[in-house]
Amino acid sequence: MTPAEIRRALYARAIMARAGADNAALEQAFAAVGREQFAGPGPWHIWTPQGYALTASNDPEALYHDVVVALDKDKGINIGEPSYHARCLNALMVRRGETAVHIGGGVGYYTAILSELVGPTGAVVSFEIEPSLVARARPNLTARSNVEVRLQSGSDGPLPNADVIYVNAGATYPPRTWLEALRPGGRLMFPLTGTNGNGGMLRIERGETAWDARFICLVGFFPCVGTRDTALAARLETAFDTPQWWGVQSLHLGDRPPDDSCWLAGDGWWLSTRGGPPAHPGPC
C-alpha cells in the first residue's frame, strides 16, 4: 500500500469506530475515496467549536480526521462530518447493483462513496442546485461511469426509480416525489427539520403494505428548497423538544386518520409511534 492508501485506510477504520458501524463494504468505500480531491487546494478551513480554523499547511493529512471541511465558509457550505454520514449510510444498507439518488450532493465526496457502495453495476444520480458546487462535482466525479450529476432541485418533478434516496438538506415533511420514486424495499433518509434547521434524520422504508419509519439521530441542516412548510417547521421545533420523537416507528399516507400514537401529522401523512421495535437512535 502507498502512504496515501494507508492514511485513507486508517481514517476509514477510525470513522467506522466513531460511527459505531461494523460494515466492511462501507469502510472500504471510505478508504477508496480521497478527500483532498473534493476539498480543493489547501490549506483548508476546518470547523471547530470556536468557529473555522485554518490548517497549518496544505498537507492532506489534516483532512483525514472526523472533521467538517469548509467549501464556502462565508455561506456555511461544507463537506460534512464523516462519522455522521457513515452512520447514515450504514443505516441505509446500500447494496451493490442498486440505484441511489443523492439530493444535495455538493461537490461529490459522499456521492463518490455511494458510487463505491453500488459498484459498477449500480448507478448514482446526484441533484444539486448550487451551480458553483456542480461545477466542482462534475470533474470530481467524471471518472465514475456510474454517476450522473444534475444541476437541478431534487424536489422538482419525478426522480429516477431508486433503491436508495439520501438527502442532505432539511425538509419539513416527506415529499410524495421522493416516496413515489422508491422501489419496493427502497430506503429514503432525509433530515426532518424545524425552523432553526435542527431536527432528526428520518429513515423510511417502503414495505409491501406499510412504511417503516425510524429516526437515526439528531441533526442540523440547511433547508431543502421546495420542501418547506412554515407552520410545520414551527410544530417540528416543539415536537423535537419532547422525547417521543425517538419512538417513531411508522409512516401513514392517508390510509387512516391519526390515532393516539401520532407524533406529528401533516397534509395526508402522519408519523406513528406504533410498529416494530424502536431503533434507539442518538446524537450523531
The pLDDT, as a whole number, for residue 226 is 81
Instruction: Say which residue, 183 or 243, is predicted with more confidence.
Output: 183
Confidence band of 197 (pLDDT split at 50, 70, 90): confident
Mean pLDDT of 262-269: 94
How confident is residue 68, by pLDDT bands cut at 50, 70 and 90?
very high
Which has more confidence, 196 or 2? 2
Mean pLDDT of 152-177: 94
Question: What are the structural domain ranges in the chain?
Answer: 83-272
Share of the chain above pLDDT 70, in %: 97
| Residue that wins the pLDDT comparison between 76 and 148 | 148
Q: What is the pLDDT of residue 200?
A: 94
Q: Give the long-range contacts of residues 137-144, CB within 8 A, separation 24 or more.
A: 137/105, 137/106, 137/107, 137/108, 137/111, 140/37, 140/38, 140/107, 140/108, 140/109, 140/112, 141/108, 141/111, 141/112, 141/115, 144/112, 144/115
| pLDDT at residue 280 in the model | 46
pLDDT of residue 157: 77
Does 120 have pLDDT greater than 90? yes
What integer is the mean pLDDT of 157-170? 94
Mean pLDDT of 189-203: 94
Q: What is the mean pLDDT of residues 153-158?
A: 88
Class of domain 83-272: alpha beta
Query: Which of 50-64, 160-174, 242-256 comes out lowest in average pLDDT?
Result: 242-256
8-31 tens-digit pLDDT:
999 999 999 999 999 999 999 999
Q: What is the dihedral of CA 205, 15, 66, 134, to 10 degrees?
A: -50
Secondary structure of residue 201 in the 3-state scheme: strand
Most confidently modeled of 72-76, 104-108, 228-232? Answer: 104-108
How are beta strands 182-193 and 162-167 bridged, if at all? parallel
pLDDT at residue 193 greater than cutoff 70 = yes
Tally the residues of the chain: 284
Q: Give the pLDDT band (50/70/90) at residue 104.
A: very high
pLDDT of residue 284: 55
Q: Which position has the higher pLDDT, 81 or 275? A: 81
183 — pLDDT class (breaks 50, 70, 90): very high
Instruction: Say yes or no to pLDDT of 90 above 50.
Output: yes
- The C-alpha cell of 128 is what? 444539486
Q: What is the pTM of this model?
A: 0.94
* 122-139: pLDDT as tens digits: 999 999 999 999 999 999
Sign of the four-CA dihedral 102, 107, 110, 111: positive
